[in-house]
Structure 1
Amino acid sequence: MSRFIIIKYTSEMKKLIAIMALAGITSSLSAQTPKETKDSIQPNVFTTVKDARITSIKNQANSGTCWAYSAQSFLEDELIRIGKGEYDLSEMFVVSHSYRDKGRKYVRLHGKLNFAQGGSFYDVLYVLKNYGAVPQAILPGLNYGTTKNQHGEMETGLKAFLDAIVSNPNGKLSSAWYPAYESIIDQYLGKLPESFTFNGKKYTPQSYAKELGLNADDYVSLTSFTHHPFYSKFALEIEDNWRWAESYNLPIDELMRTMEYAIDKGYTIAWGSDVSEKGFTRDGIAVLADVEEIETKGSDQARWIGLNYSDKQRLLTQLIHSANVPEVNPTQEYRQKGFDNYELTDDHGMVIYGIAKNQLGRKFFMVKNSWGEAGAYKGIWYASYNFVKGKTMNIVLHRSALPDDIAKKLGIKNK
């Protein structure tokens, strides 16, 4: 049996209904905000503008040897550029020689030298010039039971040995300390070959390097800071520059112009950078994200739609990955302040080999990393123009990759 209930609408009830309707509209608008935010976050879509041919992606694994991997990769790319074809050069040949030289210097300076796994691009050039080179197959450097680099134990053992020597328990150093030190390196990385046969031909490391046809003196290091005069050379004051190699100092806009010029002319660039920023992701994107602006927007959204901390951090990550992420516009002063207060640090070596743009026209440098085929682009990173401008520590490139006017200012023959 049906019943009909007749309701008499009083003025108070009408007001209540109106309030409820307005609340429903507001709730509906609030519910749409996440969708609108999501729709405004556009994932990057990259189009290559110019790139050079490079060798395969390598994996430094659990070793602080990015400097060796990036600089050797850079030299391999140079061999392609000059028409020599593809080579796979041994990084551990460079690492082994560098540990030997570093150990001698550490003892010479009574332990007052940074002794760690890090190094600089110059270490690779120094080894090429003074000791030669060998193929990867001749010295893979994996004598300790793993298929990938794992250098923590070796570094710790070498450092402990050297510290014991520096403590000078005998009152004077014996002639045995250095051969003993070398033997530790040999046990981990393998003995350095005096000669070897490769592709049916016998070489020494020096003769193999000569056949490669690369002249270490043709490569120059550039940087950009104001605590030294522009167009002069100075030893970059970073811990891993233990050989005290010098870099030419350029204004940042001229450094950026040099990099673009080099890429346009078909060169690759060894690139040292700070990668500690939130904007340097682990999946192939590096942007100089204006985190303060992003977090301010995120805070506003959190107040409006009730985001919790985890959701806010997730939104922050999404914004960093978006094509229209707000970025800091770095200046010369920004760089110097970062270097002076330790915000701009020497973290990682990679290779820049191209330029791309995203769908909004933003310029990115194409970067070859040494973390294996990691990230969304299988070992390739896209670093925004602003990131490179703000976070570059130094670069190394062939002297012929310098624009004429900049080569002249530096007193370098680029022809």
Structure 2
Amino acid sequence: MYNFSVKPFLAASLLVAGMQVGFAQDYLVNSLKNNQSANSKDSFQFTDVINIENTPVKNQGSSGTCWSYSANSFLESEMIRMGKQPVEISQVYTARNAYVEKGKNYVRMHGAITLGDGGALHDVINMYRKYGALPQNVYTGLNYGTTVNKFEEMQTMAQGVLEAAVKNPNGELSPNWIKAYTAVLDSYLGDVPQSFDYKGKKYTPQTFAKEVVGINPDDYVELSSFKEHPYYSKFVLMVPDNWSLDMVYNVKMDDLTAIIDNALKNGYTVGWAGDVSEKGFSWKNGVAYIPSKNFADMTAEEKESIFKGPQAEMEITEDMRQKAFDNYQTTDDHGMHIVGLSKDQNGKEYYIVKNSWGATNDYKGYLYMSKNFVKYKTTAILLNKGGIPKDLAKKMDIK
């Protein structure tokens, strides 16, 4: 509806073709730099209502690992909520393990499933459950002289190994293809330590997850909202990055914001996945909303002032949300972390959202996202089930 021209590129590169993910990430950020107005920050007066403690903003570099950065940031806030001393969890360790599992699925599915950097919020929980966790300073993933992630070459090499396995030139797969594939990942990201010292004590990734991070993977649920599926039941979210074919709970559109509001009011943050390629999303200005008028129908003056203070928004319906998803106007572009609630000078509420593109915008790595934007552009949210209103949890049989 607003920025369809960027969608085919995102679908083909950011979500599917691993060798182009870093470029797609840079392309997306650069394209969003055009969605801005001068002196926007001076035109908005945000007053925080809820601002839950979270760890410092990170930079995912040239990698499509937003899902790992956002969901691990979420887990770090969970540590704070639980009264623990937060530790920066290695985002690349999580991603590395997901790449291993993704490679297995790719070969088992004869190449008919997504590859590349992309992933889903639930991947962080799944990898934590299976592989444990490492502190960032033990496993940085910067194994060949770079100072930030740069995954294009690695993904191209790894994809070549998997494609060779799928071709099955010997007529029968040997057990060595997975060793070759894992060796490519580890040559770029570093070998995984079997044990390590942390604050004077020796841990394995599993014992570190259990004793230091201390979350229970069973406490976390993922939800979405699409009217084509029965509400308050589970379905497979059909987006390319759901390579593990995990199921999510389906709630009504207005339930999404009701659940986020309830979680924040009770001290829980929320992982968010959705579409950020709309003209109403500006990373530089740190604001995301749904303009009341289609961008193509705006005058030059209206386009210039799109972020000069609060604007009227389009009312969102479940039909609009479903249609945008069905016609590729809503895709799973990006993952971020909702850490609070704020109001502008007119009293309209926005969520405070932590990003992983560094502290490079007007709000030093955070942005303000309207509730209408969340209703329209969310593909999934991840939260502790304790943050769900009791009546909705009962409808979904979440205990």
**Are residues 1:343 and 2:329 paired?**
yes
Max Rg structure: 1
Identify unmatched segments of 5+ residues in structure 2. 1-37
Give the CA RMSD over aligned residues: 1.7
> Do the aligned residues in 1 keep the contact of 2:133 with 2:205 (CA within 8 Å)?
yes
1:287 alignment partner in structure 2: 289
- How far off its partner does 1:290 sit? 3.0
- Distance of 2:293 and 2:146 partners within structure 1: 40
- Distance of 1:117 and 1:246 partners within structure 2: 20
2:305 match: secondary structure:
helix
After superposition, the Cα gap between the structure-2 partners of 1:166 and 1:252, relative to the gap in structure 1 and judged at 3 Å, is same
1:376 match: secondary structure:
coil
2:309 match: secondary structure:
coil
- Distance of 1:291 and 1:388 partners within structure 2: 18
Task: Supply the AA of the counterpart residue of 1:224.
Answer: S
Counting only pairs closer than 5 Å after superposition, residues 252-401 of structure 1 correspond to structure 2 as: 252-283=253-284, 284-292=286-294, 296=297, 298=299, 312=300, 315-401=301-387
Q: 1:99-154 CA distances to partner (integer Å, 9 max, x unpaired)?
A: 11111111111111111110011111011111100100110001122100011111
- How far off its partner does 1:236 sit? 0.3
Task: Supply the AA of the counterpart residue of 2:287.
Answer: I
Q: Normalising by the residue count of structure 2, what TM-score does the alignment of the two structures yield?
A: 0.87
1:206 alignment partner in structure 2: 206
- How far off its partner does 1:85 sit? 1.8
2:11 alignment partner in structure 1: none
Identify unmatched segments of 5+ residues in structure 1. 1-37, 299-311
Task: Supply the AA of the counterpart residue of 1:76.
Answer: E
After superposition, the Cα gap between the structure-2 partners of 1:297 and 1:139, relative to the gap in structure 1 and judged at 3 Å, is closer
Identical aligned pairs, as a percentage? Answer: 46
- Distance of 2:351 and 2:177 partners within structure 1: 46
> Do the aligned residues in 2 keep the contact of 1:220 with 1:399 (CA within 8 Å)?
yes
Task: Supply the AA of the counterpart residue of 2:330.
Answer: L
Counting only pairs closer than 5 Å after superposition, residues 105-184 of structure 1 correspond to structure 2 as: 105-184=105-184
- Distance of 1:296 and 1:334 partners within structure 2: 18
- How far off its partner does 1:295 sit? 5.5
- How far off its partner does 1:227 sit? 1.2
Q: 1:62-118 CA distances to partner (integer Å, 9 max, x unpaired)?
A: 000000000000000000011002210001111111111111111111111111110
Task: Supply the AA of the counterpart residue of 1:337.
Answer: K
2:92 alignment partner in structure 1: 92
- Distance of 1:350 and 1:289 partners within structure 2: 21
1:320 match: secondary structure:
coil
2:228 match: secondary structure:
coil
Moved over 6 A (4+): none
Match of residue 410, structure 1, among 382, 391, 396: 396
2:49 alignment partner in structure 1: 49
Q: 1:259-293 CA distances to partner (integer Å, 9 max, x unpaired)?
A: 1111111110000010010111121111112342x
2:336 match: secondary structure:
strand
Q: 1:212-270 CA distances to partner (integer Å, 9 max, x unpaired)?
A: 22001100101110111000001100000011111100011122111111111111000
Task: Supply the AA of the counterpart residue of 1:407.
Answer: A
- Distance of 2:115 and 2:296 partners within structure 1: 39
1:222 alignment partner in structure 2: 223
Task: Supply the AA of the counterpart residue of 2:326.
Answer: D
- How far off its partner does 1:42 sit? 7.6
- How far off its partner does 1:296 sit? 4.3
1:6 alignment partner in structure 2: none
Q: Normalising by the residue count of structure 1, what TM-score does the alignment of the two structures yield?
A: 0.84
- Distance of 1:247 and 1:232 partners within structure 2: 8
Structure number with higher relative contact order (C-alpha < 8 Å, ≥ 6 residues apart): 2
- Distance of 2:283 and 2:393 partners within structure 1: 36
- How far off its partner does 1:324 sit? 3.1
1:58 match: secondary structure:
coil
2:379 match: secondary structure:
strand
- Distance of 2:203 and 2:303 partners within structure 1: 51
- Distance of 1:198 and 1:291 partners within structure 2: 54
2:32 alignment partner in structure 1: none
- Distance of 2:389 and 2:188 partners within structure 1: 44
> Do the aligned residues in 2 keep the contact of 1:365 with 1:383 (CA within 8 Å)?
yes
After superposition, the Cα gap between the structure-2 partners of 1:249 and 1:318, relative to the gap in structure 1 and judged at 3 Å, is same
After superposition, the Cα gap between the structure-2 partners of 1:42 and 1:73, relative to the gap in structure 1 and judged at 3 Å, is closer
1:383 match: secondary structure:
strand
- Distance of 1:346 and 1:336 partners within structure 2: 14
> Do the aligned residues in 1 keep the contact of 2:310 with 2:344 (CA within 8 Å)?
no
- Distance of 1:172 and 1:297 partners within structure 2: 59
Task: Supply the AA of the counterpart residue of 2:359.
Answer: E
Task: Supply the AA of the counterpart residue of 1:378.
Answer: K
> Do the aligned residues in 2 keep the contact of 1:273 with 1:348 (CA within 8 Å)?
yes
- Distance of 2:116 and 2:367 partners within structure 1: 26
